[in-house]
Amino acid sequence: MALSIFALIGHKNGAADDSAFELAAAAKAVDSGASLTAVVCGAGSELDSVCQAVSAVYPTVWKINHAGLAYPNAEALRPALAKVIPKGAIVLMAHDTLGMDLGPGLSIKLDAAFVPDVVGIEGLDGNVLKLVRQEFGGQVSTHIHCDIRDGAVINVRSGAFQPTGETASGSVVDKSGDVGDIQPKRKYLETVVAEVGDVDITKADVLVSVGRGIEDQENISIAQELADTIGAVVSCSRPIVDAKWLEKSRQVGTSGKTVKPKVYIALGISGSFQHLGGIKGNPFMVAINKNPKAPIFQVADVGVVTNLLEFVPELTERIKEKK
């Protein structure tokens, strides 16, 4: 019997998350011959546009429309999915705050194996699925062998897989009736939106960090614009805080916050020992600095030796053009 793979689709406001398309690529990496189904759960008509969108890459799309699933509450989703996912299937989902909430428990309910935060999939070897994970804040990688005889729940790191570009014209199947009654013991109340001043740089995946090379408070806007364009958060080194150009909560370093982004763009940061001490998790680091001897270039992955005040606005424009 061919393997069945189900991808749980994250979505907001009627649009599928980027991860939806990445999961399709991940599924192909698991077994390109497996039957692939996208599972779209939620409530209301906004599901239709999500189903529509994912049907472009998934041969089958399950739509589960249930008032109890209006908000993506893992406690409601888990029993619903446990009911509809067949034994032995592989479930893929993004390793985001929903995936972390849902995945481990779902694997227990399905009596399946669970592998979180997967960054690489090396394919099947009989009943063994070969995966790659990272440990110790990304400092070391590990090969994982996962026994999938009873199925598996695999949480995939966002951005680890690129959409393949393959298309499908999937059919949407309404499975709303199969989930039965949903009575979670956890009730969603509200979402408290972070205040602008309360930006938490420690949780950002992408940081545009400014140092003394920014020269003037007015130039912070150059960094802010780049950050807005690429969906990043602005952080800084200590001199910027000392100069009161940015609030203390944005400072990276031993006397500031410890950050664990995936991408760190250092603008005019020399890369002092104290500053680098606040960057963990081995992010992809881009350094833009006019001093070719700045120590930041020793630790960065990519460097640009240039005047950032001229280059960064140009870069931002270029990104906007390409978007």
Partner 1 sequence: MEILVCVKRVPDTAENEIVVNSSGSDIERGDLVYSVNEWDNYAVEEAIQIRDRVGGSVTVVTVGDEESEEVLRREMAMGADKGILISDPAFEGSDGKGIATILKAEVEKGKYDLILTGAQADDGAAQVGGMLAAMLDLPFASLVNKIEIVNEKTIQVGREVEGGNQEMNEISLPCVLSIQTGINEPRYVGIRGIRKVASVEIPVHKAADLGVDTAKVGKAGAKVKKVDYFIPPAGKGAEILEGSSEEIADKLIELLKAKGGIK
Partner 2 sequence: METALISPAKAWVMGIPTVIFSVLIPLIGVAAFTYIIAKRLAPLVRAKPDPRLDRPIDRLKAMLLYAVGQYRQPRYMMAGVLHIVLFAGFMILSLRSITLVVLGIQEGFVLPGLGGVVGHIYNVLKDIAATLVLIACIIAAVRRGIFQPERYDVPKRYGKNHTGEAVFVLMLISTLVTCDMLFEGTYVAAQLKKGISPEFVLPATGTWFAANFFNDSSFAVLQRVHLGAYYLHDLVFFFFLCFLPMGKHFHVITSLPNVFLMKLRKGVIKPVEWGVDESKLDELKSFGVKKFEDFTWKHMLDFYSCADCGRCSDQCPANAVKRPLSPRFISIKSRDYCFKNYPIRGEMTPKDEMLIGTIFTEDEIWSCTTCGACEAECPIFIEYIDKIVDLRRGMVDEGMVPQSLQKPLKAIEKRGNPWGKMEKKRSEWVKALPETCEVKLFEQGDVAETLYFVDSITSYDDRMQKIAQATAKVLSSAGIEFGILGKDEKDSGNEVRRFGEEMLFQDLKSHNTEMIRESGVTRIVTSDPHAFNALKNEYAGLPPVEHISQTIVKAVSSGRLRLKPIEDVQKVYTYHDPCYLGRHNGVYEDPRKALDAIPGLRRVDMLKSRDRSFCCGGGGLMLFYEPEEEQRMGVLRVKMAQKAGANVIVTACPFCLVNMEDAIKVAGLEGKMEAIDLAELIERHIDRGEAEEQGTGTPEV
**Contact between 52 and 76 (Cβ < 8 Å):** no
* C-alpha–C-alpha distance, residues 274 and 268, integer Å: 15
46 and 71 Cβ atoms separated by less than 8 Å = no
Asked whether position 103 contacts partner 1 by CB under 8 A, the answer is yes
Residues 6 or more apart whose Cβ sits within 8 Å of residue 3: 30, 31, 33, 34, 35, 89, 90, 124, 148
In the list partner 1, partner 2, none, the entry touching 314 (Cβ below 5 to 8 angstroms by class) is: partner 1
Q: Does 256 bind partner 2 (CB under 8 A)?
A: yes
- 260 touching partner 2, by CB under 8 A: no
CB of 272 to partner 2, least distance (A): 8
Secondary structure (DSSP) of 225-240: HHHHHHT-EEEE-HHH
The nearer residue to partner 2, 49 or 282, going by C-beta atoms, is 282
Shortest CA distance to 161 belongs to which of 21, 34, 11? 21
**CA-based diameter of the chain, in Å?**
66
Residues 120-179 that bind partner 1 (CB under 8 A): 133-147, 150, 152, 158-159, 162
| Residue 273 interacting partner from partner 2, partner 1, none (CB closer than 5 to 8 Å by kind) | partner 2
59 makes contact with partner 1 (CB under 8 A): no
Stretch that binds partner 1, among 26-34, 43-51, 214-222, 306-314 (CB under 8 A): 306-314
Burial 152-178 (b: 16+ CB within 10 A, else e): bbbbbbbebbeebeeebebebeebbee
Q: Does 203 participate in binding partner 2 (rule CB under 8 A)?
A: no
Q: Does residue number 280 form part of the binding site for partner 1 (CB under 8 A)?
A: yes
Considering only residues 209 through 248, tell me which ones interact with partner 1, judged by CB under 8 A.
230-232
One-letter amino acid for residue 250 of the chain: R
Of 282-321, which residues contact partner 2 (CB under 8 A)? 295
C-beta of 269: minimal distance to partner 2 in Å?
12
Q: Which is nearer to partner 2, 59 or 277 (CB)?
A: 277
- Smallest distance, Å, CB 26 to partner 1? 15
The one of partner 1, partner 2, none whose footprint includes residue 15, by CB under 5 to 8 A per kind, is none
Select the binding partner of residue 255 from partner 2, partner 1, none (C-beta < 5 to 8 A, by kind).
Answer: partner 2
Task: Find the binding residues for partner 2 in span 211-250 (CB under 8 A).
Answer: 212, 238-239, 242-243, 248
Q: Are 306 and 287 in contact (CB under 8 A)?
A: no
| Cβ pair 3, 98 in contact under 8 A | no
Question: Candidates 1-9, 31-39, 49-57, 282-290 — which segment interacts with partner 1 by CB under 8 A?
Answer: 282-290
Identify which of residues 243 and 319 has a Cβ nearer to partner 1 in the complex.
319
Q: How many CB atoms lie within 10 A of CB 45?
A: 9
Q: Give CA angle at 238 (235, 241), nearest 5°.
A: 75
HEC string of 44-96 equals CCHHHHHHHHHCCCCCEEEEEECHHHCCCCHHHHHHHHHHHCCCCCEEEEECC
Check binding of 203 to partner 1 (CB under 8 A). yes
Task: Tell me which residues touch partner 2 (CB under 8 A).
Answer: 212, 238-239, 242-243, 248, 254-256, 273-274, 277, 295
